[in-house]
């Protein structure tokens, strides 16, 4: 593979490949979930918003980004504390939002 | 009644998907890859982890630029949305003047952004510019190249001149699409002008206002060309907005890693605020 190929140009690393696999995998998992257990119609949660399962995934991911950034800005590395808060946030969003 | 299931329709979405993949998804993925690495060019990269994110989040330049950006966007939205709506309400609905108004309102939108910056640059010069000279002749000390307040005033005025007509045209399109029956019913009920606006026009304009707010929010949050041409981010760093700071880092200093990390944070802020505006405005509509 020469230096100008797409993969070289995009400067892929193992962790970023895993990151994008997680993003696309979670979107695909939502499709599988809906296929086997339909029920993704909007419902009203604690914030008074009507959200579908897809909306809740979006809110979870967006919120997690800010949780990690806040953790990084305040405490720096390692990010395990941020990960725990993000996981709790995901549970909260999928159950109550 | 059973719905026909035809999955072939997904193929019709494929061209759009490919287009979005090539103009948005692949560049975004590349930026994510760059944000965790260090490079000195020639496609040689070394792993840096989250160091650049930490650096950006702890940099005063970034927070100051973000504050300026939020202030600028807040100011232009607070002026352009009500002003555009007011202009749309006063525009004629029938006759010869409709075309005249539409052409006049479209003119600022047709001018390239760098030309707008250059035009206002010349017009606001304190010694020879029409605007600068007029303000100074009123006894007000105005010099946008030296005074931060003057620079801000000029940039906000320039943005309002450039983009209010977009809001006005969107609102005008929304207003002319309201059926006459609503106005006739209001007339029969003896509704006053304010009641017609509050209970007929404003609810019917919610969709276009949502679009107008989102477009103006995203555009003003990404503003680069006009302030770059006009003030270059100065005086000092008084008008250095996020995009100017980003370009200085990415292209001026060729710090691709920190610039990529900053781009991602910038993108997340725009995404979160756009989602918030959209959700709040649509929720009000449902209520």
The stretch A84-93 carries a mean pLDDT of 96
Domains in chain A: boundaries: 1-38, 43-97
| Residue whose C-alpha is closest to residue B248's, from B265, B228, B270 | B228
Min Cα–Cα distance to chain A from B246, Å? 18
Min Cα–Cα distance to chain B from A92, Å? 18
Min Cα–Cα distance to chain B from A10, Å? 5
The stretch B17-25 carries a mean pLDDT of 88
At residue A3, does pLDDT exceed 70? no
Confidence band (pLDDT; 50, 70, 90) for A10?
confident
Domains in chain B: boundaries: 63-286
Cβ pair A10:B53 closer than 8 A? no
Cβ pair B54:A20 closer than 8 A? no
Q: Which residues of A touch B283 (CB under 8 A)?
A: 48-50
Q: Are B246 and B222 in contact (CB under 8 A)?
A: no
- pLDDT tens-digit series, residues B40-96: 877 788 999 999 999 999 999 999 999 999 999 999 999 999 999 999 999 998 888
Min Cα–Cα distance to chain A from B110, Å? 36
Cβ pair B50:A9 closer than 8 A? no
Q: How far apart are CA B37 and CA A14, in angstroms?
A: 12
| pTM given for the model | 0.86
Q: In this prediction, what percent of chain B has a pLDDT beyond 70?
A: 97
Q: Which residue of A has its CA nearest to B264?
A: A65
- pLDDT tens-digit series, residues B223-238: 999 999 999 998 999 9
Q: Does A32 touch chain B (CB under 8 A)?
A: no
The CATH fold assigned to B63-286 is MetI-like fold (1.10.3720)
Q: Which residues of B touch A48 (CB under 8 A)?
A: 283
Cβ pair B272:A66 closer than 8 A? yes
Q: Mutation test of the interface with chain A: which of B32, B258, B259, choosing the one with the most A Cβ atoms within 10 A?
A: B32
Q: Does A7 touch chain B (CB under 8 A)?
A: no
Nearest to B34 among A11, A50, A73 (CB): A11
Supply the pLDDT for residue B286: 61
Q: Does A12 touch chain B (CB under 8 A)?
A: yes
- Give the best-scoring range by mean pLDDT among A4-13, A38-47, B29-38: B29-38
C-alpha distances (whole Å) from A86 to each of A14, A53, A61, B73, B254 are 22, 17, 9, 30, 33
Chains A and B: how many Cβ contacts under 8 Å?
Answer: 59
Supply the pLDDT for residue B284: 62
Q: Are B151 and B238 in contact (CB under 8 A)?
A: yes
- What is the separation of C-alpha B101 from the centre of its chain, rounded to a whole number of angstroms? 23
Q: How far apart are CA A75 and CA A64, in angstroms?
A: 16
| Residue whose C-alpha is closest to residue B242's, from B261, B216, B263 | B263
Tokens coding B188: 């029969």
| Residue whose C-alpha is closest to residue B233's, from B74, B61, B58 | B61
More confident residue, A57 or B2: A57
Supply the pLDDT for residue A20: 94
Min Cα–Cα distance to chain A from B34, Å? 7
Q: Mutation test of the interface with chain B: which of A1, A3, A10, choosing the one with the most B Cβ atoms within 10 A?
A: A10
For the complex shown, is ipTM > 0.95? no
């Amino acid at each position: 593979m020469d230096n100008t190929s797409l993969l070289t140009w995009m400067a892929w690393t193992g962790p970023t490949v895993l990151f994008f696999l997680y993003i696309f995998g979670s979107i695909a998992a939502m499709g599988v979930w809906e296929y086997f257990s339909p029920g993704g119609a909007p419902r009203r949660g604690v914030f008074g918003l009507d959200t579908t399962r897809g909306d809740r995934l979006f809110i979870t991911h967006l919120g997690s980004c800010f949780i990690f950034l806040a953790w990084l800005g305040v405490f720096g590395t390692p990010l395990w504390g941020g990960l725990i808060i993000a996981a709790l946030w995901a549970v909260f969003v999928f159950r109550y939002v | 009644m059973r719905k026909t299931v035809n999955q072939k329709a997904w193929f019709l979405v494929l061209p759009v998907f490919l287009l979005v993949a090539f103009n948005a998804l692949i560049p975004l993925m590349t930026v994510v890859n760059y944000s965790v690495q260090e490079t000195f060019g020639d496609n040689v990269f070394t792993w840096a982890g989250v160091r650049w994110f930490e650096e950006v989040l702890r940099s005063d330049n970034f927070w100051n630029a973000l504050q300026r950006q939020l202030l600028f966007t807040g100011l232009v939205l607070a002026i352009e949305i009500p002003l555009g709506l007011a202009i749309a309400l006063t525009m004629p609905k029938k006759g010869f003047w409709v075309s005249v108004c539409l052409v006049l309102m479209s003119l600022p939108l047709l001018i390239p952004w760098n030309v707008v910056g250059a035009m206002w640059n010349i017009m606001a010069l304190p010694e020879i510019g029409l605007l600068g000279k007029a303000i100074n002749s009123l006894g007000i000390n105005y010099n946008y190249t030296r005074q931060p307040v003057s620079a801000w005033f000029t940039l906000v005025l320039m943005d309002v001149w450039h983009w209010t007509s977009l809001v006005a045209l969107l609102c005008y399109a929304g207003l002319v699409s309201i059926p006459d029956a609503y106005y006739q019913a209001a007339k029969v009920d003896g509704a006053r002008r304010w009641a017609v606006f509050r209970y007929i026009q404003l609810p019917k304009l919610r969709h276009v206002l949502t679009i107008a707010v989102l477009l103006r929010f995203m555009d003003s949050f990404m503003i680069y060309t006009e302030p770059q041409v006009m003030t270059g981010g100065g005086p000092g760093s008084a008008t250095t907005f996020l995009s100017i700071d980003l370009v200085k880092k990415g292209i001026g200093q060729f710090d691709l890693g920190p610039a990529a990390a900053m781009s991602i944070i910038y993108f997340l802020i725009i995404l979160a605020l756009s989602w918030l505006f959209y959700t709040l405005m649509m929720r009000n509509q449902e209520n």
